[in-house]
Structure 1
């Protein structure tokens, strides 16, 4: 009997899984970029665990992110985030979605760079705004003009996110398409690395 033919999707998953090896895949980017939604799908496709770092922070602190910000401020939240990320990235492989500010913190960014392959889900302002303005759980957007605040965060953070290993454009398409694009970016990066 002949072996069954691999579908294009199976081949993509297998090649991406091989490209990742035992490393972690860490999704970075602004709030609303799709890190958690896309990350869950990527993890499922690769057959590895998915961890949302914000959920892990909430679990260990027994507080929500807005409660942490209100009670302790952003600096203390970032210190906790760094400790949690350091712990999460010790094992692998897994897919980890980060909070929007995680990669901005230099100490956390070093852990991410050391801990695996970082992928920036880059989105334009209109896409981000459409996704985040429906919720009231974004502490950094509790301002007089939240869209302007979001734009300011983009201007400040995008040069830092650009330090990620890979960049995938997050846009208004199905999450499954975005997940496939993350897998393709991993495969392409491995090809380029092998060629050099």
Structure 2
């Protein structure tokens, strides 16, 4: 397929700025469509270049699409959906905010869209004969006290890399006298390869399969544990739904600046190398995943806190681990 010439970073930035200045001329649906594509891309941790390459379009064209100034064909949107590894209805769906029957307040459209996206992706991946299991999963989600107690014995920490999941997880496991498990290590054990090797040799789809298998295995092996999960796990609907159903989940949060500083302090310079917009990208990823992380049972903000203070704050709002 012939590709359009790729613009420079400055040209792309100017294109976005000009598009923003023409906001009044945008069709509302195209604006929402562009925001949804950008959100899905950020949630997957993909750069614009990655998505453009996967969809077979130029970065300039994708920039116009994401800012609501490009009217894409259905065929092109199928390519974009394929590159994002989501069903086309997830890209096309119109999902607005709605009134919360319990509290009477409106649920933000972004959160509603993220939850709808997760549900559609999950159902689309199921074979026809397995749809009955969805009803069973829903029944367990509204489970009796015995199942809730079993779920509370497994504590899963979710959140972006650099939030402090490993540090907090080890401290919590030691305080409770239960095992601490790093899902990343379990994934490497499952695959017999490092995470970087899995991605470079087999691709993201294979990584997601190993991630699911590793989670299923640690759930079988541990009735009680503290589990630190990869930051992107929430982007895979089936895996995240399994985690939510079987574990008491904690969103470990911090500011974007502390996320970046902690990762760099650990000696990992990858977020900054060759990326002049690393902090902007990080903010977009965090914004896109926030509605997913917010599905956790509780959250803890580690910004400016030492490990002991964060541990005490977390234990104060957790149920007893029986």
Cα deviation per residue 1:90-146 (whole Å; 9 max; x = unaligned)? Answer: 3321100000011221111111111120000011111101111343376x7766232
Select the residue among 37, 41, 56 that pairs with 2:186.
56
* 1:121 match: 252
Alignment of 1:31-70 (within 5 A): 31-70=161-200
Given that 1:120 and 1:164 are in contact with CA atoms closer than 8 Å, whether structure 2 keeps it comes out as yes
Partner of 1:97: 228
CA RMSD of aligned residues (A): 2.2
Q: Are residue 166 (structure 1) and residue 298 (structure 2) matched?
A: yes
TM-superposition CA deviations, 1:25-49 (whole Å, max 9, x none):
0000000111111100000000000
Q: Which residue of 1 aligns with 2:70?
A: none
- Secondary structure of 2:250's counterpart equals strand
Q: Once the two structures are superposed, what CA deviation does each residue of 1:148-182 show, in whole Å capped at 9, x if it has no partner?
A: 22112101111110011111112122112212222
Within 2, Cα distance between the matches of 1:20 and 1:35? 22
Cα distance 1:29–1:143, how it changes in 2: closer, same or farther (>3 A)?
Answer: farther
**Is contact 2:154–2:223 with CA below 8 Å preserved after alignment?**
yes
- Of structures 1 and 2, the one scoring higher in RCO (CA 8 A, sep 6+) is 1
State how many pairs are aligned: 169
Change (3 A) 1:142 1:71: farther
Q: CA deviation at 1:74?
A: 2.1
Instruction: Please say if residues 253 and 299 of structure 2, whose CA atoms lie closer than 8 Å, have aligned partners that are also in contact.
Output: yes
Ranges in structure 2 where 5+ consecutive residues have no aligned partner: 1-148
Within the candidate set 155, 172, 179, 2:287 is matched to: 155
Is the contact made by 1:119 and 1:168 (CA closer than 8 Å) also made in structure 2?
Answer: yes
CA distance in 2, matches of 1:141, 1:161: 24
57-66 or 162-171: which moved more?
A: 57-66
Q: Tell me the distance in 1 between the aligned counterparts of 2:166 and 2:235.
A: 18
Structure 1 unmatched ranges of 5 or more: 1-18, 191-196
Q: What is aligned with 2:119?
A: none
Q: Secondary structure at the match of 2:248?
A: strand
Secondary structure in 1 aligned to 2:224? coil
In structure 2, the CA distance between the partners of 1:116 and 1:21, relative to structure 1 (3 Å rule), is closer
